[in-house]
Amino acid sequence: MHTQTHTDDSLSGLLDLTGQVALVTGAGQGVGEAVARMLAAQGATVAVNDYRAERADGVAADIEAASGRALGVQADVSDPESVQAMADLVTRELGPVDILVNNAGNAGADQSALAPVPKFWESDPADWAPWIDVNFTGVLLATRSVVGGMVERGHGRVITVISDAGRVGEADLVVYSGAKAGAAGFMRGLAKSVAPHGVTANCVALGAVRTPTIEPMLQNEAILKKVLRAYPLGRLGEPADPAALITFLASPAASWITGQTYPVNGGYSVSA
Ligand SMILES: NC(=O)c1ccc[n+]([C@@H]2O[C@H](COP(=O)([O-])OP(=O)(O)OC[C@H]3O[C@@H](n4cnc5c(N)ncnc54)[C@H](O)[C@@H]3O)[C@@H](O)[C@H]2O)c1
């Protein structure tokens, strides 16, 4: 059981996820893919969700080819019916979910086109939905679909990927900043409500991580230089950087950690 007291001297045993079922949303590429691979490498059976079915199935097939256990599951985390169907399918095929990683996110901007972002006061409220629906409502929907079972069974892990934008704010990502901060606030309330039932809930807040979504922006030399100047450790994140912390938080090693938000950001924002 995840929430057991541990006194082991060796960390590696405490990172063993054999026999556990994990669901990772938006895991068809980028950070979610790295999380799915790492959880599987630690022994978990992983439901790989993406709303692009071919991405989910591709990552699941790669995990299976590497001797892991995985299932691709197409669902849109912002659609209540789609999320419930996903939870039902995963439970039927793999068993009840022990670990949920809310990773699916939407920064909104068309970064491949480097489109100028309108100022918040010039933005159209009709355009806010994708930020709020995926980054906030999607987290609530996916969590609701599995956390009741965790509470019943007396153990579970919920980990939500937010952004440093949700901690310190980003001028070009105002609504996204709010949606991510909202998700973190939700996780703090959730943590307190599920703690008596042996379930933990934490957030990981990312700085810029090299994923297919931001790669086109980084091809621009001037933008890359500007971004790198903001990162004291002198490089951008790789998907394995947050995946390592998320895997730790999902493991028995983290059984006394809940209600927290941990930055993984190369020193971009430094705080107490
Ligand atoms: N990459 C970064 O620099 C960065 C920085 C801060 C925070 N984040 C956060 O980290 C998480 C992962 O980011 P990434 O860069 O790997 O993203 P990405 O865009 O590269 O990959 C996200 C995946 O999620 C899927 N997805 C999008 N909306 C979905 C939905 N409604 N339902 C199911 N799947 C959906 C996409 O198809 C895609 O495969 C996101 O929550 C993002 O907001 C990323």
Task: List residues with catalytic annotation.
Answer: 176
31 Cα to the center of ligand 1, angstroms: 7
111 Cα to the center of ligand 1, angstroms: 13
The confidence score (pLDDT) of residue 9 equals: 80
CA distance 125 to 226: 30
| 138, two tokens | 């999607």
Alpha helices in the chain (DSSP H): 11-14, 30-41, 53-65, 80-94, 129-132, 138-153, 165-168, 174-194, 215-218, 221-229, 240-250
Q: Is the CB of 108 under 6 A from ligand 1?
A: no
SS3 of 106-165: the string is: CCCCCCCCCCCCCCHHHCCHHHCHHHHHHHHHHHHHHHHHHHHHHHHHCCEEEEEEEECH
Q: Whose CA is nearest to atom 35 of ligand 1?
A: 26
What does each of the 272 residues of the chain score in pLDDT, given as a tens digit? 445 566 678 899 999 999 999 999 999 999 999 999 999 999 999 999 999 999 999 999 999 999 999 999 999 999 999 999 999 999 999 999 999 999 999 887 554 445 667 899 999 999 999 999 999 999 999 999 999 999 999 999 999 999 999 999 999 899 999 999 999 999 999 999 999 999 999 999 999 999 999 998 899 999 999 999 999 999 999 999 999 999 999 999 999 999 999 999 999 999 88
CA distance 16 to 94: 18
The confidence score (pLDDT) of residue 2 equals: 46
Under 8 Å between Cβ of 165 and 10: no
The confidence score (pLDDT) of residue 272 equals: 80
CA angle 82, 83, 84 (to 5 degrees): 95
Q: Is the CB of 109 under 6 A from ligand 1?
A: no
Q: Whose CA is nearest to atom 43 of ligand 1?
A: 105
The second-level CATH assignment, the architecture, of 11-260 is 3-Layer(aba) Sandwich (3.40)
Best CA proximity match to 141, nearest among 87, 97, 177: 87
Q: Whose CA is nearest to atom 12 of ligand 1?
A: 31
201 Cα to the center of ligand 1, angstroms: 20
Domain-wise residue ranges, the chain: 11-260
CA distance 86 to 262: 28
Q: Decide the pairing of beta strands 199-206 and 156-163.
A: parallel
